[in-house]
Amino acid sequence: MSMQFPEHFPELRTSRLLLRALSVADKDAIFALRSNEEVNRFVGRKAAQTPADAVRFIKDRIQDVIENKAVYWAIESKTTRKLIGTICYWNLNNDDNSVEIGYELFPEMQGQGIMQEAIARVIAWGFNDMRLEMITAFTLEVHKQSVKLLERNNFKYGEIIEGLLFYKLSRQTWKLHQLQ
């Protein structure tokens, strides 16, 4: 069974969140997120320098979605209607129906179960609708919140690759835990 891409962008909802497509209108929030030192400390990327960097990033992600290279959601609070983070599937591998998951959240929003809500919904969509067989993730060992999030969602630690902890979640493991 091969990976299935949606005909239209998959807008997902949880009790507190709307996971929606990025748009250029998100440029200020994306710039703030991608230039945030605390967020970048764990993501290992160069900080956005200008709002133009954010616009370029958004346009690149929109193109990735069009070309079925990624599925990239803006995490929006239903209460405030503001972008508070992002979550994505990228590094798609059609040979084994696997993707890598990535996520980021403004520091002031952390510790409220927001990313747990988002990741659970994205994982379910990936296995049920996209027909994935495996979801992988990389995180830094010092990023304890990310390690806990992955382990809480039944990702299994595999090995250290280029200084990062490598985790994976199979469809079979996910289904097994859905029954419990």
Residue 54 contacts residue 46 (beta carbons within 8 Å): no
Per-residue pLDDT of the chain (180 residues; tens, 9 = 90+): 677 887 889 999 999 999 999 999 999 999 999 998 888 777 767 788 899 999 999 999 999 999 999 999 999 999 999 999 999 999 999 899 999 999 999 999 999 999 999 999 999 999 999 999 999 999 999 889 999 999 999 999 999 999 899 999 999 999 988 876
Give the model's pLDDT for residue 115.
Answer: 97
Q: Which fold has domain 12-178?
A: Aminopeptidase (3.40.630)
Tokens 């835990």 belong to which residue?
A: 177
**The predicted structure's pLDDT at residue 38:** 83
Please, are residues 70 and 61 in contact by the beta-carbon 8 Å criterion? Answer: yes
- Look at residue 47 in the predicted model and tell me its pLDDT: 80
CB contact at 8 A, 165 and 157: yes
- CA–CA dist 67, 62 (Å, integer): 9
Nearest to 74 by CA among 46, 114, 44: 114
Residue 122 · residue 150 · CB < 8 Å: no
Long-range contacts, stretch 100-107, CB < 8 angstroms, 24+ apart: 100/135, 100/136, 100/137, 100/138, 101/126, 101/135, 101/136, 101/137, 102/137, 104/33, 104/39, 104/43, 105/39, 105/75, 106/32, 106/33, 106/36, 106/39, 107/36, 107/38, 107/39
pLDDT score of 1: 62
DSSP 66-81: HTTS-EEEEEEETTT-
